Amino acid sequence: MFTRTHQYTFPIPKEHLKYRLVGNHLTIHSHEFSVLEDEQILSILPNVEELNDSKFPITQLELKEEGNRTEMIITSKMPTNEAGGQIVALTFCVFFFFASLVSLFFGHDPLITITLSAVGLAVFLFLFIRLQMGYFEYVRRIQGNLKEVSEQITTDVRRQLFKHKR
């Protein structure tokens, strides 16, 4: 439910992109992240002192080579211990919306219906805003930074390749 995947394509071979990405550092809201390689998958992890903070997404890069092009698939997931609380809050909202519908059709009391709907909506908006300012903000920034860095790598590699062809 909280997993986000984005795909980008770059016109350079996979090894050029991978070589230049590994070891790269990203800074987001004064938190430093590093791009590390684990077998064939690249991971974006916070530095050691921030590793225990669960608000950071678990982000992995998969590079697939298609001819002279490389497809970058960025997958960000919410840590399991953080996702449990969000799912409980969403279940709470669904319960209140369902209770307001039951009250509307069977209770015929508009005050209870409006109150239950308002409570469910308030909790949902609080959760949505909190996620947008926290978890999804980091996901957007990590993906944006990776795209920007990869575009710069692509530009540099293409300059080097064309310099040798002259």
Phi, psi dihedral angles at 109 (to 5 degrees):
-115, 105
The whole-angstrom distance between residue 64's C-alpha and the CA centroid of its chain comes to: 20
Higher pLDDT, 84 or 49: 84
Identity at 25, one-letter amino acid code: H
Residue 166 above 60 pLDDT? no
Name the residue ranges covered by the structural domains of the chain. 1-166
Q: What is the pLDDT of residue 157?
A: 82
Q: Per-residue confidence at 124, pLDDT binned at 50, 70, 90?
A: very high
What percent of the chain is predicted at pLDDT more than 90?
A: 25
pLDDT at position 118 is 94
Tens of pLDDT, residues 41-82: 888 888 766 555 567 888 899 989 888 888 999 999 988 777
